Chains A and B, each alone.
Chain A
Amino acid sequence: MRSISEIFAPLSYWVSAAGISLNTDIFEINLINLILVLSILFYYGKGVLISLLENRERTISNTIRDAEERYTEATEKLQKARIRLQQAEIKADEIRISGLAQMDKERQDLVDAADNDLNGLEDSKNNAIRFEKQRAFEQVRQQVSRLASQRALESLNSRMTNQLHMQLIDYHIGMLRSMSNK
Chain B
Amino acid sequence: MQIEQLQIFEIDNPHQVSSVEVHAQVLITSWVVIALLIALPVVATRNLQTIPTGLQNFIEYVLEFIRDLTRTQMGEEEYRPWVPFIGTMFLSIFVSNWSGALLPWRVIQLPHGELAAPTNDINTTVALALLTSVAYFYAGLHKRGFSYFGKYIQPTPVLLPINILEDFTKPLSLSFRLFGNILADELVVAVLVSLVPLIVPVPMMLLGLFTSAIQALISATLAAAYIGESMEGHH
Contacts and interface: CB of A to CB of B under 8 A. Distances in A.
Contact of A19 (B50, B51, B110, B206): B110
A3 interface: yes
Interface stretch (A23-31, A102-110, A125-133, A146-154): A23-31
Contact of A23 (B11, B17, B108): B108
Interface in A57-103: 57, 60-61, 64
A173 interface: no
29 contacts: A1-B8, A1-B9, A2-B9, A2-B17, A3-B11, A18-B111, A19-B110, A19-B111, A20-B109, A20-B110, A22-B108, A28-B106, A29-B104, A30-B104, A30-B189, A30-B201, A32-B197, A33-B193, A33-B202, A34-B205, A37-B102, A38-B102, A41-B102, A52-B61, A53-B57, A53-B58, A56-B57, A57-B52, A61-B51
B3 interface: no
Contacts of A22: 107-109
Contact of A57 (B51, B110, B189): B51
Contacts of B209: 37, 41
B51 A64 contact: yes
Nearest to A21: B109
B12 interface: yes
Contact of B11 (A4, A21, A34): A4
A152 B27 CA distance: 169
Given A19-B111, A32-B198, A52-B61, A3 B12 contact: yes
Interface of A is mostly: helix
Q: What range describes how many residues of B lie at the interface?
A: 20 to 34
B53 interface: yes
Given A27-B197, A30-B104, A37 B109 contact: no
A33 B198 contact: yes
A2 to B, nearest CB: 7
A36 interface: yes
B106 A23 contact: yes
Interface in B192-223: 193, 197-199, 201-202, 205-206, 209
A13 to B, nearest CB: 15
A16 B110 CA distance: 11
Contact of A30 (B8, B12, B106): B106
A91 B17 CA distance: 98
A28 B198 CA distance: 11
A52 B52 CA distance: 13
